[in-house]
Amino acid sequence: MHVYKVIKMVKIRFSSALSNVTHTRETVLELGDTTVKVVLDKLVEQYGADFERRILDKGEIRRFVNLYVNGEDIRHLSGLDSPVKGTDEISILPAVSGGNFRG
């Protein structure tokens, strides 16, 4: 009898604004069923304090950071406690402003 281990990979996509910290536009983490908070903890462990500072403020998602699980904003789910399955895709998109306003 063969026993096969199913490896569950969560795909994380970063905006170009974060890629100067992560040095990549996407990564994968080997995780089972978990929460957004656990995923972010793993990413902070991997990418360090600068990544954490850009995404979190006192343990909460910064208000200008949009985080989606399979296209759903976590603010409309359960926030940091939103469930993540090993086949999900997470997108982290800090809002970017700039340009020239002429009023």
Amino acid identity at 7: I
Structural contact between residues 9 and 86, judged by C-beta atoms closer than 8 angstroms = yes
Q: Please tell me the distance from the alpha carbon of residue 18 to that of residue 38, in angstroms, as a whole number.
A: 19
The fold for domain 9-94 equals Ubiquitin-like (UB roll) (3.10.20)
pLDDT, position 13? 97
Structural contact between residues 15 and 92, judged by C-beta atoms closer than 8 angstroms = yes
Structural contact between residues 86 and 28, judged by C-beta atoms closer than 8 angstroms = no
Which residue do the tokens 């954490």 mark? 52
Q: What tens digit of pLDDT does each residue of 55-103 get?
A: 999 999 999 999 999 999 999 999 999 999 988 999 999 887 655 545 4
Kindly report the pTM of this predicted structure.
Answer: 0.85
